[in-house]
Structure 1
Amino acid sequence: MRSNCATVRPVNTLELNGHDLTCGDVASCSVPLQVSVEKTARERCRQSRYLLEQMMQRRRVLYGITTGFGDSVDTAVDPDAAAQLQQNLVQYHGIGTGPPFSPAETRAILIVRLNALVRGASAVREELIDQLILFLNEDCLPLIPEQGSVGASGDLTPLSYVAAALCGEREVLLRGARMQASSALSKLGVPPLTLAAKEGLAIMNGTSVMTALAARSIHALEICIDLATMLSAAAAELTGSDPEAFAPAVHAMKPHSGQGETADLMYRFIPTSPEGNPVLPGPDSFSDAPVTLPYRIQAPYSIRCAPHVIGPARDVLAVCRQWITVELNSSNDNPLFDAEQEAVYFAGHFYGGQVVIAADTLRNALATVGELIDKQCLLLLDSRRSGLPSNLLADEYRASGNHGLKALGITVSALAAEIAHLSAPVAPHTRPTESMNQDIVSMGTIAARRLRESVDLFVRQLAMQCLVIAAGCDCYGIDRAGPSLRRLYDAIRCYSEPLSHDRPLDEDAAALAEVIRTGSLLPD
């Protein structure tokens, strides 16, 4: 069921300076955008390029410029062959495999690499900067295979497809049409770039693929964690749970930031409970037979402990956002040129250490929240525990042999299992490559790709939990719902009609998943 509630995002504009790119900026690359570079950033590039050329004239030994690459660092290269050396680097790294990154991911990769280069430490010419800008502004996207990077020295193989496309080689999508890069440049009336000394290495020897993927996932997770909080509050309200479990006073006693923020959001979502303080029956009621209270004073863990499950994910997300934001605005190739100090540095900034740990940690946090959503779904579908009709189908419809959301609950559990499977860490699986020169590598790109998969599964799980909450409202009585739950219900019902008989729900779930990805489902 398609919605009339969806919004269309405008084409974005972005001015880069190498210092203030955000995860949200990277996520905005889901649509074509117009990019420019600040004048001060261009000046930094000119200065570092001048320094590189001066050092070459003095015949300095410069890694990857007047030496071979990797384990071939002890092989001298004549400065007159420095440009050919860069072409060779691009050529022999053309060994990626697997499906290509999506257009949105590819835009993000180009943006992140361009932002790193305009910091001015990579010593590239303005011609290269302008060619990257042209590719972005004309939506000319290299076809980059997903597999082939171990995360150090940076994302060499996938980024070689960027370098090659700038030079008119391999394949691109030009405004959605697949063609040879040479044909695309001809259509644009632009000559292929000829790489100069260091420029192949500057494009390829960085963390921009893993960082772009991680940034997009972090932005998506921020949306998802807020929605998971809202759905948890909705589940609490539908099951008649006491909102005092989420009161600020009690969470001040265990003042974890993410836990407190989650509890506060839930507390403000749920209407005040009218039950008051329960009182035990009189002494005469106690005899040999057990006394059953009219209702439980505590909700199950999947409701009561929701802030303690979602809260750590919030805390981890805040740390990882900080790490990835630093990585987005870093110079992460090798060597690096410091025009102010007239120095060159041979270091290891291409190593995606923070990226792999962030991606691994977020997948672990996400797996626990995925389990929480699964258990809330099971709770709401179980009439013995929720107080709602079984499988959230009213009695008058069940009499006709309908089964409601029974199968949906199975799918939610299957998604939780897949998310848990993907939570295994990638960082410890480092392995030596390239004649033991790269004797420890980050594996950051693999970890970031797995995070992307986990986030996608989680979005689909949340979409199905939205269907559960909406069906729960229909059974509970939407007139009884508080204002926040009613707004959430109305938003969900833009994409899925109430259930009165058994019917496929896959299109409803897919429509909700799509709107969740944009962040436009969440009520104000």
Structure 2
Amino acid sequence: MGAKAKVMNKQGLMNTIKEYLSLSEFESVIFDNQKIEISDAVLRRVKRSFNFLNEFSKNKVIYGVNTGFGPMAQYRIKDEDRIQLQYNLIRSHSSGTGKPIEPQAVKAAILARLNTMALGYSGVHPSLIHLMTELINRDITPLIFEHGGVGASGDLVQLAHLALVLIGEGEVFYKGERRPTKEVFEIEGLEPIQVEIREGLALMNGTSVMTGIGVVNVHKANKLLDWSLKISCAINEIVRAYDDHLSFELNNVKLHDGQRQVAEKMRGNLADSQLIRKREDHLYTGENTEDVFSEKVQEYYSLRCIPQILGPVKETIDSVAAILEKEFNSANDNPIIDVENRHVFHGGNFHGDYISLEMDKLKIVIAKLTMLAERQLNYLLNAKINELLPPFVNLGTLGFNFGMQGVQFTATSTTAESQMLSNPMYVHSIPNNNDNQDIVSMGTNSAVIASKVIENAFEVLAIELITVVQAIDYMGQKDSVSSVTKKMYDDIRAIIPTFKQDQVMYPFVQKVKEHLINN
């Protein structure tokens, strides 16, 4: 964290992080519940920044220290009102609405904000660092709502809700319950911070909520990519596709790393499959003399263009992850307290355009991944197209039973929603704040919408995967598929049974969705 914070690794050992918190170290705190510890070096740096600002601001006009905020910055604040000013800011901006942001994403937001504060460019009191660390280590997550931020002076409204908890007010999620902050602090023996100079503004002027949601989004997006690749391989096995579309030779004449990596992973997944065929054993034998070929010459695009479709998805996820890592290691509030040069710089590091654009990119590629899954599902369900399986992979009596017919509607509807949601927020700036914020990023909205698109993708892939294992059963292929596909098949069959008679489907879909998210 900053220069010398420590993060517990998976073996329970303490790792010292120097200058830069990697994404994997960040994720270990959020997803593996590793504890963090703040070193003396970080605390010294934070205290030095605080002491400098305290002295430097005495005879100077410093935004948010002795001025109002936003368009009210032209008004001087009396010395005796400075502390109350910060409390007024926090309370007045705790105005979010909508659904609560999920606790994992809030925890990520706290860590992102803590890492920024620990850099020593914010002029905050060290007590703030201590309390934020305790919130993370004790899994106390502030109630923060989805709606409220325009992502310009950072996540002002959402971060106000974090600040509200740090001053002992508002609500938190604690041990699965939503409770008043004051009650939880009493249980845990925690004391709220006492605002000193600019703790309110420093907490609120930043991109940490959109960044925290973004980290969770990328983590889940990587899972979706892995599942989509595995499911795509399984479908190629079911139809006994040829292997040349995933070959090294074909994919390496295109220079895109993502395509090459996806094709390589597919080759690895299918290495021990007994079903994938080689073209030279069939269509290249010289024995195909019929006018209408009985052998399928090429598969539909949703089966043979996997490297070309998922390649850009992988590269985009990787590039989004790199931007997030830079953002949570950046000083992104305003003004910036520069102790070394003994100056306070006013600017706009809180502006969320980087994250807004990356979240838009992420939701676009996840929407495309979802569209691929929907088309593959349609291929399996449409007997006229696949020419192998009964309509709707119905293992019961045709006409009397319905197979996977009902859940296709859900997959189609959900995919359509993701297509609509994938339109960019980045270009939807609306001036506000008396036109002080005359161009904004909408980064928080973009991150929240991306999380919805990701949630939708898990639902569609769950429906697709149930269909895949049903198809494997119909074809009698469970002992012929690759070991990767066999494990996936066995894991799903441990959750849901093979069904011939019609079933209430939503519990199955939910169970498989949870499996995809958690594995």
Regarding TM over 0.5, the answer is yes
2:342 is matched with: 342
The partner residue of 2:277 within 273, 279, 283 is 273
Contact 1:202 1:334 in 2 (8 A): yes
2:4 is matched with: none
User: Alpha-carbon deviation of 1:378?
Assistant: 0.8
Extract unaligned runs of 5+ from structure 2: 1-9
Return the alpha-carbon distance in structure 2 between the equivalents of residues 146 and 15 of structure 1. Answer: 34
1:440 is matched with: 439
Matches within 5 A, 1:325-340: 325-340=325-340
1:20 matches 2:21: yes
Return the alpha-carbon distance in structure 1 between the equivalents of residues 284 and 32 of structure 2. Answer: 59
Matches within 5 A, 1:32-111: 34-57=35-58, 59-111=59-111
User: Alpha-carbon deviation of 1:146?
Assistant: 1.8
Instruction: Letter of the 2:180 partner, please give it.
Output: Q
Instruction: Letter of the 1:101 partner, please give it.
Output: I
Return the alpha-carbon distance in structure 2 between the equivalents of residues 411 and 266 of structure 1. Answer: 28
Matches within 5 A, 1:97-176: 97-176=97-176
1:357 is matched with: 357
Contact 2:172 2:179 in 1 (8 A): yes
| Inter-CA distance 220–338: structure 2 relative to 1 (3 Å threshold) | same
Return the alpha-carbon distance in structure 2 between the equivalents of residues 379 and 349 of structure 1. Answer: 48
Residues 206-247 of structure 1: per-residue CA shift (max 9 Å, x gap): 111111111100111011111101111111111121111110
Contact 2:283 2:295 in 1 (8 A): no
Contact 2:155 2:208 in 1 (8 A): yes
Residues 466-499 of structure 1: per-residue CA shift (max 9 Å, x gap): 1111111101211232333222211221211112
User: Alpha-carbon deviation of 1:64?
Assistant: 0.6
1:385 matches 2:385: yes
1:4 is matched with: none
User: Alpha-carbon deviation of 1:281?
Assistant: 7.3
Pick which of 427-436 and 103-112 moved more: 103-112
Question: SS of the residue aligned with 1:479?
Answer: coil
Question: SS of the residue aligned with 2:98?
Answer: strand
Return the alpha-carbon distance in structure 1 between the equivalents of residues 456 and 360 of structure 2. Answer: 16
Contact 2:244 2:278 in 1 (8 A): no
Return the alpha-carbon distance in structure 1 between the equivalents of residues 180 and 481 of structure 2. Answer: 57
1:196 matches 2:200: no
Contact 1:239 1:380 in 2 (8 A): no
User: Alpha-carbon deviation of 1:68?
Assistant: 1.3
Pick which of 400-409 and 372-381 moved more: 400-409
User: Alpha-carbon deviation of 1:382?
Assistant: 1.9
| Inter-CA distance 274–246: structure 2 relative to 1 (3 Å threshold) | closer
Instruction: Letter of the 1:487 partner, please give it.
Output: K
User: Alpha-carbon deviation of 1:174?
Assistant: 3.3
User: Alpha-carbon deviation of 1:63?
Assistant: 0.8
Return the alpha-carbon distance in structure 2 between the equivalents of residues 408 and 28 of structure 1. Answer: 37
1:452 is matched with: 451
Matches within 5 A, 1:303-318: 303-318=303-318
Question: SS of the residue aligned with 2:427?
Answer: helix
Question: SS of the residue aligned with 1:67?
Answer: coil
Contact 2:392 2:405 in 1 (8 A): yes
Contact 1:17 1:41 in 2 (8 A): no
Return the alpha-carbon distance in structure 1 between the equivalents of residues 223 and 134 of structure 2. Answer: 31
Runs of 4+ in structure 1 off by over 6 angstroms are 9-18, 280-283
Return the alpha-carbon distance in structure 1 between the equivalents of residues 16 and 513 of structure 2. Answer: 31
Question: SS of the residue aligned with 1:330?
Answer: coil
Contact 1:15 1:37 in 2 (8 A): no
Return the alpha-carbon distance in structure 2 between the equivalents of residues 442 and 27 of structure 1. Answer: 29
Contact 2:29 2:35 in 1 (8 A): no
Residues 416-467 of structure 1: per-residue CA shift (max 9 Å, x gap): 1111111111111101111111111110000000000000000111111111
User: Alpha-carbon deviation of 1:384?
Assistant: 2.7
User: Alpha-carbon deviation of 1:18?
Assistant: 6.6
Return the alpha-carbon distance in structure 2 between the equivalents of residues 464 and 354 of structure 1. Answer: 34
Contact 1:13 1:34 in 2 (8 A): no
Return the alpha-carbon distance in structure 2 between the equivalents of residues 204 and 23 of structure 1. Answer: 26
1:323 is matched with: 323
Instruction: Letter of the 2:453 partner, please give it.
Output: S
Residues 267-301 of structure 1: per-residue CA shift (max 9 Å, x gap): 23233515614158789x67xxxx21121121111
Aligned residues: percent identity?
Answer: 28
Residues 100-139 of structure 1: per-residue CA shift (max 9 Å, x gap): 2222222222122111111111111111111212222333
Residues 375-427 of structure 1: per-residue CA shift (max 9 Å, x gap): 11111122232212322234xx3258222112222222122111111111111
2:5 is matched with: none
Contact 1:142 1:173 in 2 (8 A): yes
Question: SS of the residue aligned with 2:35?
Answer: strand
Residues 486-514 of structure 1: per-residue CA shift (max 9 Å, x gap): 22211221211112221122222211211
User: Alpha-carbon deviation of 1:17?
Assistant: 6.8
| Inter-CA distance 383–303: structure 2 relative to 1 (3 Å threshold) | same
Extract unaligned runs of 5+ from structure 1: 1-8
Return the alpha-carbon distance in structure 1 between the equivalents of residues 43 and 150 of structure 2. Answer: 31
Pick which of 444-453 and 461-470 moved more: 461-470
Instruction: Letter of the 1:456 partner, please give it.
Output: E
Return the alpha-carbon distance in structure 2 between the equivalents of residues 267 and 178 of structure 1. Answer: 48
| Inter-CA distance 48–134: structure 2 relative to 1 (3 Å threshold) | same
Instruction: Letter of the 2:242 partner, please give it.
Output: D
Matches within 5 A, 1:246-265: 246-265=246-265
| Inter-CA distance 115–344: structure 2 relative to 1 (3 Å threshold) | same
Return the alpha-carbon distance in structure 1 between the equivalents of residues 16 and 63 of structure 2. Answer: 31
Question: SS of the residue aligned with 1:429?
Answer: coil
| Inter-CA distance 415–399: structure 2 relative to 1 (3 Å threshold) | closer
Question: SS of the residue aligned with 1:135?
Answer: helix
Return the alpha-carbon distance in structure 2 between the equivalents of residues 205 and 455 of structure 1. Answer: 27
1:465 matches 2:464: yes
Question: SS of the residue aligned with 1:480?
Answer: coil
User: Alpha-carbon deviation of 1:329?
Assistant: 1.2
User: Alpha-carbon deviation of 1:255?
Assistant: 1.9
Pick which of 487-496 and 71-80 moved more: 71-80
Contact 1:260 1:311 in 2 (8 A): yes
| Inter-CA distance 389–11: structure 2 relative to 1 (3 Å threshold) | farther
Return the alpha-carbon distance in structure 2 between the equivalents of residues 187 and 259 of structure 1. Answer: 53
Return the alpha-carbon distance in structure 1 between the equivalents of residues 452 and 155 of structure 2. Answer: 19
Return the alpha-carbon distance in structure 2 between the equivalents of residues 159 and 23 of structure 1. Answer: 24
Instruction: Letter of the 2:368 partner, please give it.
Output: T
User: Alpha-carbon deviation of 1:62?
Assistant: 0.8
| Inter-CA distance 400–152: structure 2 relative to 1 (3 Å threshold) | closer
Instruction: Letter of the 2:92 partner, please give it.
Output: Y
Contact 2:211 2:324 in 1 (8 A): yes
Return the alpha-carbon distance in structure 1 between the equivalents of residues 169 and 485 of structure 2. Answer: 54
Contact 2:158 2:209 in 1 (8 A): yes
* Number of aligned residues: 503
